[in-house]
Structure 1
C-alpha cells in the first residue's frame, strides 16, 4: 500500500476496492474535480480538447500559479493511452493527492511543474470489459486498447488521425515538457521484475540529452527504484525466444510517444509493469516510479535544463538529419537479469512443444542488452519546403505541431529540388488504418525555375525552432513515419491518364524513330527483362512512361525542396 495514509474521504476508488479494481472514467474525473475544488490554488483541472468519442481530454496542473513552463522544469505524465493497462490511472490519482496533502512532497510542487493527463484514451476507457486483456493478471474490469475509431493511439503521434492525438499535439506544444512519462503494462516473457522501462532511444536524442539520459538520469532512476524495493530492468524485447538470447532496446519510431517526444528534445519514458504480477504491486510500482522521476528531476534540474538548452541551441543550427534507424548489433552492454528458467512441454491444445517459464527456478545471470542504433539514411535539409495549398490536411498537421508556415500572397519563382517516387514497398495488410509504405527510393531532379502560386506555403528551416526536426521527418518521404509513409500523398501514385494500345502504337513508333537512344535503351532492357520482352503491352507502357505523353504529376512528390530566396 501507499506509504502515505490518506484520510478515508480522500481514498481513491482503487484504494477503497478489494485490490483488483480500477477507477471508471466517471470516478476518475470526479476524484480530480474533488481535488481541484478542495485545493484551488494548487490544482487546476482543465479541458485540453476533444476526443473521437466526444468526451474531452483533461489536464491536471499541479503547483499553483507559478506552474508555468518558463519558470521550472515540466514533467508531463499521461495515463490510459491503453485503458486496459490502467495502473497509471490509479497511481496518478494517489500521487496527485499526496503531492498536495503530504508535507514531505511539497518541495516537488515548489520546484517542478507537474502536468497529469488523467486519461488520454477516454474512448477506450468508456469501453469497459473483463476479457480483452487475456494475458493480464487483473484488474477485474478495465478499458479497451483501441479508441472510438479503433485506433491504437500509441501509433498515432505523427499521423494524428484521431482527435485525441490532435489534442495531445496542442497540449504537448503548450507545455514543451523536459520529461514525458506515459504509463503502460507489458506483454511477452515472464521474469521476476514488476517494473520494466522503455526510455527514449538515446542515439535519437541530441548528443547533450542522450549523454545526460545515459550517464545521469537513467542510473538515478534505476537506483531510486532499487531503493524503493522495485528492482527494474530495461523493457524485455528478446532477440530470440527468451530473454537469455539478449534483449533489444525498443526502436521507438516517431509514431510512438517516446519517439515523438525525441523530435522536440524531450526525454520520454514508457514504464511497463509486468502483466502477470498481481494488480496491487503493479499500481504501487507505477506510483513509485512516477515519484522517483519527480524526485530525480528535482535533484538534477540544473543538469537537465543545461542538456535541454544545449539540445535546443544545436537544433537551431542543425541541417543534417537522420531518417530511420537500424540496430548496431556489433555493440552491446551486459546487464544482470533476474528471470525464470524457460522450458518446454507438450501443448494440451496442439500436442506440439510449447514454451513455459518455471517460477520455481528463478535465476540471476548476465545477458546482452543491445542499446545502440545508427541512422539508416541521413539527408541535408533544404532552405525551405514548399507545400502546395491543395494539401490542406498536411498543412493543418504541420501547423498543429508547431511548424511555422508562410503563406505566399503573390507568386514566387525560384529553383527547387523535385522528388519522383521511383520505388516503394507497401504493407499487404492495413496497419492502424493505413497501408504503410517503406523502402522508398527517390529520383531527385534540380529544377532551374518553379513558380509557387499565391496561397501556397513555405516552411523555412531557420524559422522552425523546436519543430525543425519534426518538419524534416514528416516531409521527407524516406522517413519511416513521414506523411508519405502513412499514405498522405497516395493520390499521386495513381496514373490518371492512360492510352489505348492500338492508337498509341503509331505514336510510340514515332517516339522511337525520333529518339534512337531511347530505342537502344528499350532493346537493351528487353535482353535483361524477359517479361518485358514477351509483352507488347509492357513495351508500349515502357515507351509511354518516357514520352511527353506521360503526365508530369504521376509519382511526383508535391512537396518541393525550395532553393530560392525566402526573405
Structure 2
C-alpha cells in the first residue's frame, strides 16, 4: 500500500514537471481567440469549456456531434468503418442542400473538401477545431461557408489510439492535458499505410476517397522536433511529384490566401520543417520527397489536391487549435473561389503521358536556395550526464537565412507496360488493388499468356519488422519471358487509367512502396524442392558426358571462381539449376508485365 502511495506521488510529480522541462514558451495573443464562445453558449465545445486545455474523449466527442447532427438538417453523421477494437470511425457530412449520399456529392457541381483529424491520435488539434467550425456554420456567423463547398470530416481516424489516452502520450507537446497514442491498437502507424492498406482507419479513408471523390484532402497533424516561431506549418508535394499542375495550383491559388488569413488572425504560417542536421536549422531545412505510403504523397499520385498540416508541438494546444480553425475556414473559401482552376489542373495531371514513371527521388547536388527562417535562439550544451552535446532552446525569436535542401531529383525510373497481371492465388494483393479503387479485368476462365517477369539474382531482408512486415532491403534482378497459366480469378491491371501511376508504384519491384518491397511476395523466396547428393552425382556425370558445351562452361567457371570450385554445395546448386527438375518459380516476383 505504501508502495502504491509513493508511486502515485511520483506520477503526480512527473505530470506537474512535464511542462517545466520544455523549452520556454513564446508569448502569443492572437486575434483568433475571438473565435472562442462564452461558456454559457448552448453549443460550447469541451475544448472551450476547459479554457483550451483539454480535448474530449471518444464518447464525449460522439455525443456532442450526434446532438449537433440532430439539431442541424445540413449535417449527417455516419460510420465509415470499424476500428480493430470495434469502435465506429465517424464521418461527418455537411451539405447546404441536405444531400448526403456519395453519388450526389461526388457528382455535385460544388467542390468537396475532406478533412481528417487524429490519424496520429495524440495529434488531435483538427478534431477540436472542426467541432468549433461546424458549430459556427450551424448556429454562428460562418453559415456562408456552405456556399463554397460541401464537407467531409473525420474527427478521429485512429479511434483506438485516441482512447489509449493519458497525460504521458507526447512529452514534447504542449497539450491537451490528456492525449491519445500515435499508433493503433495493433501498434501500426496509419500514416505509413496508404499503399499497403492494412489498418481499418486507412481502409476507411481509401473507401471514402473512392466513393466521394473529394477535390481537396487535408490531413491534420502535430510536429515533433525543433523549436521555431511558426505555429501552423503545412505543406504539399511542390516539386518531384506526380501532379505538377495541382502543385502549381496549391502554390499560387491556395497557399497565399491561407497564409494571409492565418497572419491576419495572429498566427505564423510556415512550410514543413525538418532540420537537416536533426537538431537545429543551422545546416538548413530539408524538403523530403515522401513515398506514397504517406497521406499527402498518396493523394499526389492519385491527382488529388492534398495538404499535410503539421502544427508546432511546442505551441500551446489552444493556439494550435485556433490556428487550425482559421486554416480550415480559409481552405473552404479558397477551394470555392478557385474550384474551376483546380479542376483544370486535375485534368492536366490526369492526361500526362505515362511512358515512364519515377519510382525514387534523391537530393539535389546543391541547395535550391536560401530561405528566411523565423527561428528561436539556441546554444549547444555539453551534458553532465552523458558527456554528449545537445541543443538547448532559449525562447528568444531570431531570424536566420538557411539553405533549402530539396529532394526532388529523379534517381530511378521504370518504363510503363501496357498492363500487369497477377494470378488468382495472390488474393490479399488483389484485394488491396481493388480497395485502392484501381480498375481491373478479372478472368472468368483460365487463360495462358506470355508475360515478362522479374527474377531475383540476389536479395537481402530487413533485420527487423517495419510496420509489421519483413521488408526487402536490397536486391538485384533480371527479366525473363515465360508462358503464364492464369486461372480464373486472376486480374489484368491496365496502366492506361486514372490511377495508372499508382498501379506502377505498387507493381514495380524498384518502387519502395511496391507490394514486393513491402514483403507480400516473400513466400516465393523459399526453395521447397531439392535433390539429394546421391542423385545429383550420377545426374551431373550424365550431364557432363552428354553435353560438351556444359562441361566447358563448368571448367571455365571453376577456373574463374576458385571459391566456387571449392564449394560442393554451390556446384550441386549450379547443376541443379540447369535441370528440368528445378523450381522455375523460385525467386520470381509474381507480377507479370504485358508490353
Query: What is the distance in 1 between the residues matched to 2:515 and 2:304?
Result: 22
Partner of 2:198 in structure 1?
Answer: 161
Q: Does structure 1 residue 441 correspond to structure 2 residue 473?
A: no
Q: CA deviation at 1:193?
A: 1.5
Q: Which residues of structure 2 form unaligned runs of 5+? A: 1-32
Partner of 2:134 in structure 1?
Answer: 96
Query: What is the distance in 1 between the residues matched to 2:55 and 2:558?
Result: 67
Query: What is the distance in 1 between the residues matched to 2:202 and 2:154?
Result: 13
Q: 1:333 to 1:512 in 2, by over 3 A?
A: farther
* Equivalent position SS for 2:325: helix
Q: 1:351 to 1:4 in 2, by over 3 A?
A: closer
Q: Does structure 1 residue 468 correspond to structure 2 residue 476?
A: no
Query: What is the distance in 1 between the residues matched to 2:402 and 2:188?
Result: 35
CA-based RMSD of the aligned residues comes to 2.2
Q: Contact (CA 8 Å) 2:377, 2:393: kept in 1 or not? A: yes
Alignment length (residue pairs): 555
Given candidates 68, 74, 92, the residue that maps to 1:35 is 68
Partner of 2:486 in structure 1?
Answer: 452
Q: Describe the superposition over 1:276-319 as per-residue Cα deviations: whole angstroms up to 9, x where unpaired.
A: 222111111122222222222222222212111222233xx534
Partner of 1:276 in structure 2?
Answer: 314
* Equivalent position SS for 2:184: coil
Partner of 2:381 in structure 1?
Answer: 345
Query: What is the distance in 1 between the residues matched to 2:464 and 2:558?
Result: 33
Q: 1:349 to 1:469 in 2, by over 3 A?
A: same
Given candidates 314, 323, 330, the residue that maps to 1:285 is 323
* Equivalent position SS for 1:423: strand
Q: Contact (CA 8 Å) 2:275, 2:285: kept in 1 or not? A: yes
Query: What is the distance in 2 between the residues matched to 1:379 and 1:288?
Result: 42
Q: CA deviation at 1:396?
A: 0.8
Query: What is the distance in 2 between the residues matched to 1:293 and 1:529?
Result: 65
Q: Which residues of structure 1 form unaligned runs of 5+? A: none
Q: Contact (CA 8 Å) 2:450, 2:481: kept in 1 or not? A: yes
Q: Does structure 1 residue 308 correspond to structure 2 residue 341?
A: no
Partner of 2:240 in structure 1?
Answer: 203
Q: Describe the superposition over 1:506-543 as per-residue Cα deviations: whole angstroms up to 9, x where unpaired.
A: 32344345455555555555556554343222222233
Q: Describe the superposition over 1:396-433 as per-residue Cα deviations: whole angstroms up to 9, x where unpaired.
A: 11111112222222333333112212333422121110
Q: 1:236 to 1:515 in 2, by over 3 A?
A: farther
Q: Does structure 1 residue 426 correspond to structure 2 residue 461?
A: yes
Query: What is the distance in 2 between the residues matched to 1:246 and 1:519?
Result: 61
Which segments of structure 1 move beyond 6 Å, counting only runs of 4 or more?
none
Q: 1:242 to 1:451 in 2, by over 3 A?
A: same
Q: Does structure 1 residue 243 correspond to structure 2 residue 281?
A: yes
Q: Does structure 1 residue 178 correspond to structure 2 residue 211?
A: no
Q: Contact (CA 8 Å) 2:111, 2:215: kept in 1 or not? A: yes
Given candidates 266, 279, 286, the residue that maps to 2:304 is 266
Query: What is the distance in 2 between the residues matched to 1:227 and 1:439?
Result: 50
Query: What is the distance in 1 between the residues matched to 2:238 and 2:561?
Result: 44
Query: What is the distance in 1 between the residues matched to 2:569 and 2:493?
Result: 43
Name whichever of 20-29 and 132-141 sits farther off. Answer: 132-141
Given candidates 164, 188, 197, the residue that maps to 1:127 is 164
Q: Contact (CA 8 Å) 2:115, 2:219: kept in 1 or not? A: yes
Q: Contact (CA 8 Å) 2:238, 2:251: kept in 1 or not? A: no
Query: What is the distance in 2 between the residues matched to 1:79 and 1:109?
Result: 20
Q: CA deviation at 1:122?
A: 0.6
Q: 1:219 to 1:506 in 2, by over 3 A?
A: farther
Query: What is the distance in 2 between the residues matched to 1:2 and 1:514?
Result: 92
Q: CA deviation at 1:217?
A: 2.6
Q: Describe the superposition over 1:185-227 as per-residue Cα deviations: whole angstroms up to 9, x where unpaired.
A: 1111111111211313432132322222333333333333223
Partner of 2:17 in structure 1?
Answer: none
Q: Describe the superposition over 1:108-147 as per-residue Cα deviations: whole angstroms up to 9, x where unpaired.
A: 2122121101110011011111113122222211111111
Relative to the length of structure 1, the TM-score reads 0.92
Q: 1:110 to 1:322 in 2, by over 3 A?
A: same
Q: 1:87 to 1:537 in 2, by over 3 A?
A: same
Relative to the length of structure 2, the TM-score reads 0.88
Query: What is the distance in 1 between the residues matched to 2:263 and 2:561?
Result: 63
Partner of 1:549 in structure 2?
Answer: 581
Query: What is the distance in 1 between the residues matched to 2:225 and 2:550?
Result: 56
Query: What is the distance in 2 between the residues matched to 1:243 and 1:517?
Result: 64
Partner of 1:334 in structure 2?
Answer: 370
* Equivalent position SS for 2:282: helix
Query: What is the distance in 1 between the residues matched to 2:420 and 2:592?
Result: 6
Q: CA deviation at 1:12?
A: 0.7
Q: Contact (CA 8 Å) 1:331, 1:372: kept in 2 or not? A: no
Query: What is the distance in 1 between the residues matched to 2:407 and 2:390?
Result: 32
Partner of 1:12 in structure 2?
Answer: 45
Q: 1:233 to 1:519 in 2, by over 3 A?
A: farther
